[in-house]
Amino acid sequence: MKLTKNFTLEELTHSRTAMKKGIVNYPNESALSNLVNLAEKVLQPLRDKLKKPITITSGFRDIILNKLIGGAYKSQHTLGEAADFYVIGMNLKDVFKVIIDNFEFDQVIYEFGWIHISYREDNNRKEILVAYKDNSGDIRYKPFDNNYIALKDYII
């Protein structure tokens, strides 16, 4: 099922873990509507602007799947509001900057080899975070101050 010109429901629900564990990773009506919004308002416009394919590494996650892979308790992935991705042939920092400067979003996180983006129909927080590992190896998030040059300081 096509959500936009370049994004399908299949790629936004695909999970090798779900397949291995026999989990049906299919969104309910509300989550499907949210996935359509995410694809129409952020993913497709970003692809059109960059003129490069976007590789989705994680989109919608069933609650059981989300727990199994260690996702956040209230992950927007379970609501169909979030996707993780990268763009082949583009520096992640450049993609991050394009998103911040050009798109409406709820949350964008510069993670470890991918970007997490979320979109809500209403009340987008425009929260910008960077993931890092603390001294114990736990993943933490800190606000990004919009200083693109300092981004290198956040990346492990």
pLDDT of amino acid 137: 87
pLDDT of amino acid 141: 87
Domains (ranges, CATH) in the chain? Answer: 9-154 (3.30.1380.10)
114, 96 in Cβ contact below 8 A?
no
For the chain, list residues with pLDDT below 50.
149, 153-156
Nearest to 155 by CA among 135, 130, 129, 134: 130
Largest CA distance in the chain: 44
pLDDT of amino acid 132: 87
pLDDT of amino acid 54: 97
pLDDT of amino acid 156: 37
pLDDT of amino acid 140: 87
pLDDT of amino acid 139: 85
- Distance, CA of 67 to CA of 83 (rounded, Å): 16
